[in-house]
A and B are shown apart, each in its own frame.
Chain A
Amino acid sequence: MQSSKGRPEPAQDAGNPRYDDPWYDALASGWGESAGAGESPPGVMPPTRREGGAGSAAADVYLEVQRSTAFQEVRRRYRRFVAPAFVAFFAWYVGYVVAATTAPELMAHPVAGSVNVAMVAGLGQFATTFLLTWAYARHARLRRDRAALELRWDTQELTRGMNGGAS
């Protein structure tokens, strides 16, 4: 895949993972949105890790991946979408519920015909839910999936190497 990332690229991307996971192919080739050179996070692992100590535990691998800039970039992208979006829809929902219970006069205010503020707000909740679902899926697909998949194989490769290639 992204060999432009300036890290050693062993045969892992081409060979083993495909054997392990039939879905790898579909993801890597099927969706065609290139993450774009600008978006692709920097290299994952220091190369020394690959020859890594036979005695290193799985715990070290995960700690190391967690500290890597590539992982932190994925985590940052996830959190920077989810945190504000969560706060926004939760506040909007709680506001709606509180308004419905404490300010029924406001909610009963007519807008057009039989449609009042309450009806507009209720349908608005539907609309924002559909919209945010779409936005989240799009964001994850374009901004996280590719980087996460690469990290997945890197991590599995490392934990596998640790087990002496047994699995």
Chain B
Amino acid sequence: MTGEHQTLALLLFSAFVAVTLAITTWVSRNRRGSAEEFYAGGRLFTPIENGFAIAGDYLSAASFLGVTGLIALFGYDGLLYVVGFLVAWLVVLFLVAELVRNCGRFTLADVVAARMRERPVRIAAGTSSVTVSVLYLVAQMVGAGSLVALLLGGTSEVASAWTVIGVGALTVIYVSLGGMRATTWIQIVKAVLLLGGTIALTVLVLVRFHGDLDRLLLTAAERSGHGEAFLAPGLKYGGDWTARFDFISLGLALVLGTAGLPHILSRFYTVPTARAARRSVVWAVGLIGGFYLMTIVLGFGAAAVLGPDAVRGSNTAGNTAVPLLALDLGGGAGSTGGTVLFAIVAAIAFATILAVVAGITLASSASVAHDLYASLRRRGKPHSEVAVARVAAVGVGVVAIALGLLARDLNVAFLVGLAFAVAASANLPVLLYSLFWRGFTTRGAVWSVYGGLVPAVVLVVLSPVVSGSPDSLFPGVDLQYFPLQNPGLVSIPLGFLAGWLGTVTAAEVPDEAKHAETEVRSLTGAGAA
């Protein structure tokens, strides 16, 4: 890539950073430093604002870079990801959004702890939330790294490493200085930029094919070298039965994981009522659905315009398909249009990553301070809890940077699939049981968190992702005892099973009054924070 690309992309990105830092400063003036303010932004965002912010939080590098890359490389099998990502919102809307808004204050653990003995439940739910967040963060960091590698020519490992560090550091500044209020506005700005950029690219792809989607698909199929098979499922997941079960596993994880993602749950606390939470999800479904429809066009567009070889040549996992597509659509390498479009898309991708990283860092610092720290050390006042959250943001940032540097050759969408699997196994069962099961007990809650979390993490460690195959994180070691890359098919049922088992074996009598309180509060909003 030429120097012009770099300069322009860097300029645009610096502008984004400057704007967001200004937002951070602006919104944190007159800040009272209360927990309400830091974790939930004062709870006064409107549904539209929160809808855009949810879209900003959810549409990560995995969606923008990862999914389009997968579609460009594997055709229809990449499209299966976006279907799962979108349908998942029905689970959130039906079962989680309003009820969680009514019952909780800042985190997932609030909802569960309201019915149970607080300490063990908070420690369990806090641990699983932090684990999910860190996995998700790694995916974003890998996205940042591959983007920079593309921008600077692929060979500069040092630059790539420094980008990951820079993204981490900026995030920590946003989160610890601005809290939820700044983070939300950054999500909104980012969502608008991302949707704008995606619309522009989609229009350019459609113009290139004269609005003929049929020809776009046929060209993509032809250039892929797979012919018609490119437009049908099976290229990536259609081989042996291991691959097929792997896909079913991923599909389950995607559709059930969203409702357990801590940074998505925390978004519902930023609006005043359950009704506002519902309306923000409706907005988010519209924005997210529209975005994913466009990524399908972009993915097949990248296959048709660039061909899978060019995509794979730049990044084996396909993470750079969209920026390359922008370069070509703008007029090709060396042209002004190509340079400008490429730089814009690269800057948007950076902004995307930065905003998502900020959202997750905030959610996990809330889990650390509000759940773990508050349970393990009892004498903190609300103000000191916010101070802990700020420090936790730094800690989470450092861990994410370190892991992001390690995992740089994996597809971003795939990594996010792992985070979804852990969320669906560890967070969703306990959340649903707490909201809907009268007889659920403390032991059941603790067992269901660990009963989903431990298998999910252990199965990932024993899977081909970590060792035992040429594409693994540690190709030289062989610890592979579990055939599937995604653990969801096994670990999600285990999470539900463990919660049930813990409940029926507990001597503890379920507290009927606490259940009544949770049920009444969740459906009416009485006593909501």
Contact = CB atoms under 8 A, between A and B. Distances in A.
Query: How many interface residues does chain B have, given as a range?
Result: 35 or more
Interface string B84-124: 10110111011100100000000000000000000000000
Nearest to A65: B520
In the A-B complex, the 4 residue pairs with the closest CB atoms: A108-B232, A59-B513, A155-B526, A97-B251
B94 A152 contact: no
Contacts, number: 173
Contact of A118 (B221, B231, B293, B516): B231
B108 to A, nearest CB: 20
Interface in B251-307: 251-252, 255, 272-273, 275-276, 278-279, 281-282, 285-286, 289, 292-293
Nearest to B525: A152
**Is the contact region of chain A dominated by helix, strand, or loop, or is it mixed?**
helix
Interface in B485-522: 512-514, 516-517, 519-521
B247 interface: yes
A137 B281 CA distance: 10
B289 A116 contact: no
Contacts of B93: 133, 136-137
Interface string A81-115: 01001100110011011101110100110100111
Contacts of B89: 129, 133
B289 A129 contact: yes
Contacts of B244: 101-102
B519 A66 contact: yes
B520 A62 contact: yes
A122 B286 CA distance: 17
A22 B279 CA distance: 17
A82 B231 CA distance: 34
B232 A148 contact: no
B218 interface: yes
A133 B90 contact: yes
Contacts of A115: 214, 217
B478 interface: no
**Is the contact region of chain B dominated by helix, strand, or loop, or is it mixed?**
helix
Contacts of A104: 232-234, 238
A129 B232 contact: no
A16 to B, nearest CB: 14
Contacts of B141: none
B496 to A, nearest CB: 14
A114 B512 CA distance: 58
Contact of B523 (A78, A97, A125): A78
Contact of A85 (B84, B94, B520): B94
A116 B231 contact: yes
Contacts of A58: 517
Contacts of B519: 66, 75
A118 B228 CA distance: 12
B277 to A, nearest CB: 11
A63 B281 CA distance: 30
B238 A101 contact: yes
Contacts of B79: 122
A35 interface: no
Given A66-B516, A101-B248, A118-B232, A137 B87 contact: no
A101 B517 contact: no
Contact of B513 (A60, A89, A149): A60
Contacts of B278: 137, 140
A49 to B, nearest CB: 14
Given A66-B519, A89-B87, A136-B94, A130 B527 contact: no
B520 A71 contact: yes
28 contacts: A58-B517, A59-B513, A59-B514, A63-B513, A65-B520, A71-B524, A74-B524, A82-B94, A85-B90, A86-B91, A90-B255, A97-B247, A104-B234, A108-B228, A108-B233, A113-B214, A129-B90, A133-B281, A136-B94, A141-B275, A148-B523, A148-B524, A151-B520, A151-B524, A152-B526, A155-B520, A155-B524, A156-B527
Contacts of A96: 83
Given A66-B520, A101-B245, A137-B282, 12 more contacts: A23-B273, A23-B276, A57-B513, A65-B516, A100-B233, A101-B237, A125-B87, A133-B93, A152-B524, A155-B520, A155-B526, A159-B527
Contacts of A132: 90
Nearest to B514: A59
Counting chain A CB atoms within 10 Å of each CB, the highest count among B89, B90, B525, B527 belongs to B90
A142 interface: no
A57 B517 CA distance: 12
B289 A126 contact: yes
Nearest to A22: B272
B94 A107 contact: no
Nearest to B292: A126
A14 interface: no
A151 B519 CA distance: 12
Counting chain B CB atoms within 10 Å of each CB, the highest count among A97, A118, A151 belongs to A97
A149 B276 CA distance: 13
Given A85-B94, A86-B94, A122 B83 contact: yes
Contact of B87 (A66, A129, A148): A129
A21 B526 CA distance: 12
Given A122-B79, A155-B520, A133 B285 contact: yes
A100 B526 contact: no
Interface string A135-147: 0110011001100
Contact of A97 (B91, B234, B248, B527): B248
A156 B92 CA distance: 27
